[in-house]
């Protein structure tokens, strides 16, 4: 049965979406917890030493990040499909089965990371423990499982897209999600040549994060603007196509900025510099797009003489607007300022990258996915106009404040590291620790931990709000 976005009740696709969102929120919590462990270890190196070392905490931190975002992405697609196509998602039974397969696999992988941690230097470790390759550590058995689950998801999306009404948003998602699933294959082999290893590793990481994930965000933002403020579909979809052209046009060859120093030829300097300098442009466009459509629809509403907000979901819309800001700031500005090879020669692999990573993943992806969770809360509870609660406001303030604080602290740490360890000492072992022991660096790491704790507190408010706000009588039903 097709359903209106405001009444998710009765749609199996939307029910499956809420399952995905729930597990995503749990793993989001795990990401923050292991991030806190890793942040404590920077300040107190003896913390959990040889029990839960930094390497394990950090692996869990970044893997949980990827997994919760992928879960929330799948959830978002299952949520919007009935609205966009006008029909129930095809193959929903298999979709539900694959969900449980996926959840079970993730739980097993996490338990192995936690309790086995490292194995001998042979293929069995690669198959059953982890592959030791940043972000895509999942052991090989899980890789195959992930491919199967992803193909099932893509099949559901394609079959539904073909049978139902085919909107621009669905078309973009169909193309984007097949690229997203296909690129994972580039990270599923072993080679002795670390340069070749890193070359293909970036096909997964960069082409995901700076191409397919960004296009996904564009499609979700388009859906959100139509459902939350009633933006005109033709205008929204025109922006979406322009964004896709700009995102893929800059992002695909922007991969060159990862090929400066890994043993690849020099021509990547020019290609990487040019295209990654273009990468912020679509983010500016996305930023303008959201504010423009908001102003346009609100202006049209104001012209009727009534003082009514066009926003029917305040917390979700807040997170969507934060996405417009955060994507531009975190991915655009923080990314751009160390993307040129002349700068990157010194900043590559320092806390600068970490500062950019924290703000970009949060600003570009976490914000909009949290927004989608609020849309699902509105839909499942049949709320006409959803308002902010005290907990919504605490959640958004603490999380945004915490992540910004972490980013600024890590940026300062990055400066110290670049000046002392890299520019002055030439990146040796001793030079590295000179940089790490500097007072500014140490204080920055204290602040990072403090701001991380603030973020976690905000997460607790977020969970409370997501679980309780649906039944809160402040909303108009």
Partner 1 sequence: MAKTSVWSDNRFWQRSAAWITGFAAVLLIWLTFDTAGQISMGTDADLQNKVTKRVPGPTVINYKITYEMSTKRGHEVPVIGEKEKFFGRDDWSEEEAGALLHLGKLGSQTKNCMNCHTLLGNGAYYAPDLTKAWLDPAWQNDGTMQAMTGKSTKEEAMAEFLQHPSTYPTHARMMPDLGITAEEAKGLVAFLKHMSSIDTNGFPRNFGKIQGAVNGK
**Interaction with partner 1 in 285-344: which residues (CB under 8 A)?**
none
Answer yes or no whether residue 31 interacts with partner 1 by CB under 8 A. Answer: no
Answer yes or no whether residue 266 interacts with partner 1 by CB under 8 A. Answer: yes
- Residues 152-181 touching partner 1, rule: CB under 8 A, are 168, 171
Q: Give CA separation, 132 vs 55, 108, 122, 188, 468, in Å.
A: 10, 17, 12, 12, 39
How many Å apart are CA 133 and CA 135, to the nearest integer? Answer: 6
Answer yes or no whether residue 354 interacts with partner 1 by CB under 8 A. Answer: yes
The piece of 10-18, 76-84, 318-326, 428-436 that touches partner 1 (CB under 8 A) is 428-436
Which of 107, 111, 185, 194 binds partner 1 (CB under 8 A)? It is 194
Confirm if 427 and 421 have CB atoms less than 8 A apart.
yes
Which of 110, 114, 148, 262 binds partner 1 (CB under 8 A)? It is 262
Residue whose CB is less far from partner 1, 314 or 338: 338
How many Å apart are CA 22 and CA 28, to the nearest integer? Answer: 10
Q: Find the DSSP H helices in 303-382.
A: 314-326, 334-336, 341-347, 351-360, 367-380
Answer yes or no whether residue 59 interacts with partner 1 by CB under 8 A. Answer: yes
How many Å apart are CA 440 and CA 305, to the nearest integer? Answer: 55
CA atoms within 13 A on the CB side of 222: 29
Which of 6, 74, 81, 130 binds partner 1 (CB under 8 A)? It is 130
In a 3-state reduction of DSSP, which class is residue 265?
A: coil
Residue whose CB is less far from partner 1, 35 or 95: 35
How many Å apart are CA 354 and CA 270, to the nearest integer? Answer: 24
Answer yes or no whether residue 268 interacts with partner 1 by CB under 8 A. Answer: yes
The 8-class DSSP code of residue 329 comes to I
How many Å apart are CA 333 and CA 345, to the nearest integer? Answer: 18
Answer yes or no whether residue 432 interacts with partner 1 by CB under 8 A. Answer: yes
In a 3-state reduction of DSSP, which class is residue 107?
A: helix
CA atoms within 13 A on the CB side of 100: 5
Residue 409 Cβ vs partner 1, minimum distance, rounded to whole Å: 14
Which of 110, 147, 155, 271 binds partner 1 (CB under 8 A)? It is 271
Answer yes or no whether residue 134 interacts with partner 1 by CB under 8 A. Answer: yes
C-alpha distance across the termini of the chain, in Å:
22
- Residues 206-235 touching partner 1, rule: CB under 8 A, are 234
Task: Please enumerate in sequence order all residues whose Cβ is within 8 A of that of 380, keeping only pairs 6 or more positions apart, or say none.
Answer: 8, 9, 14, 18, 470
Residue 427 Cβ vs partner 1, minimum distance, rounded to whole Å: 4
Residue 280 Cβ vs partner 1, minimum distance, rounded to whole Å: 17
Task: For tokens 């806390």, name the residue.
Answer: 351
Answer yes or no whether residue 433 interacts with partner 1 by CB under 8 A. Answer: yes
Residue whose CB is less far from partner 1, 78 or 248: 248
Residue 210 Cβ vs partner 1, minimum distance, rounded to whole Å: 12
Which of 2, 155, 196, 343 binds partner 1 (CB under 8 A)? It is 196
Answer yes or no whether residue 446 interacts with partner 1 by CB under 8 A. Answer: no
Answer yes or no whether residue 241 interacts with partner 1 by CB under 8 A. Answer: yes
Answer yes or no whether residue 185 interacts with partner 1 by CB under 8 A. Answer: no
């Amino acid at each position: 049965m097709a359903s209106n976005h405001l009444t998710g009740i009765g749609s199996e696709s939307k029910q499956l979406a809420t399952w995905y969102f729930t597990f995503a929120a749990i793993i989001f919590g795990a990401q923050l917890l292991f991030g806190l462990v890793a942040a404590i270890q920077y300040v107190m190196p003896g913390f959990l030493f040889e029990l839960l070392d930094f390497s394990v905490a950090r692996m869990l931190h970044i893997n949980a990040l990827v997994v919760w975002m992928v879960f929330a992405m799948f959830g978002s697609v299952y949520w919007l499909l009935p609205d966009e196509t006008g029909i129930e998602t095809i193959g929903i039974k298999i979709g539900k089965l694959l969900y449980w397969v996926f959840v079970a696999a993730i739980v097993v992988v996490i338990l192995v990371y936690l309790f086995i941690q490292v194995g001998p230097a042979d293929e069995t470790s690669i198959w059953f423990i982890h592959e030791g390759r940043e972000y895509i550590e999942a052991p090989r058995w899980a890789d195959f499982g992930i491919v199967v689950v992803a193909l099932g998801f893509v099949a559901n999306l394609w079959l539904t897209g073909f049978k139902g009404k085919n909107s621009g948003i669905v078309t973009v998602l169909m193309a984007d999600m097949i690229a997203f699933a296909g690129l994972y294959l580039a990270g599923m082999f072993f080679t002795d040549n670390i340069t070749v290893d890193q070359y293909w590793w970036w096909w997964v990481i960069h082409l995901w994060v700076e191409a397919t994930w960004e296009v996904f965000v564009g499609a979700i933002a388009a859906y959100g603007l139509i459902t939350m403020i009633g933006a005109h579909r033709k205008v929204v979809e025109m922006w979406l196509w322009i964004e896709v052209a700009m995102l893929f046009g800059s992002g695909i060859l922007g991969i060159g900025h990862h090929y400066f120093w890994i043993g690849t030829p020099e021509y990547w300097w020019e290609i990487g510099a040019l295209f990654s300098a273009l990468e912020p442009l679509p983010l500016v466009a996305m930023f303008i797009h959201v504010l423009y459509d908001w102003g346009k629809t609100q202006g049209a509403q104001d012209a009727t003489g009534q003082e009514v907000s066009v926003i029917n979901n305040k917390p979700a819309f807040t997170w969507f607007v934060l996405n417009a800001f955060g994507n531009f700031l975190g991915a655009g500005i923080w990314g751009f300022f160390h993307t040129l090879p002349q700068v990157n020669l010194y900043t590559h692999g320092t806390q600068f990258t970490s500062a950019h990573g924290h703000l970009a993943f949060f600003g570009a992806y976490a914000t909009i996915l949290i927004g989608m969770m609020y849309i699902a809360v509105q839909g499942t509870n049949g709320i006409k106009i959803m308002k902010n609660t005290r907990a919504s406001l605490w959640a958004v303030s603490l999380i945004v404040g915490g992540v910004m604080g972490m980013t600024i602290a890590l940026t300062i740490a990055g400066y110290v590291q670049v000046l002392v360890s890299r520019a002055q000492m030439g990146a040796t072992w001793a030079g590295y620790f000179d940089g790490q022991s500097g007072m500014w660096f140490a204080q920055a790491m204290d602040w990072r931990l403090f701001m991380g704790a603030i973020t976690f507190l905000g997460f607790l408010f977020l969970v409370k709000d997501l679980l309780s706000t649906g039944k809160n009588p402040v909303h108009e039903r």
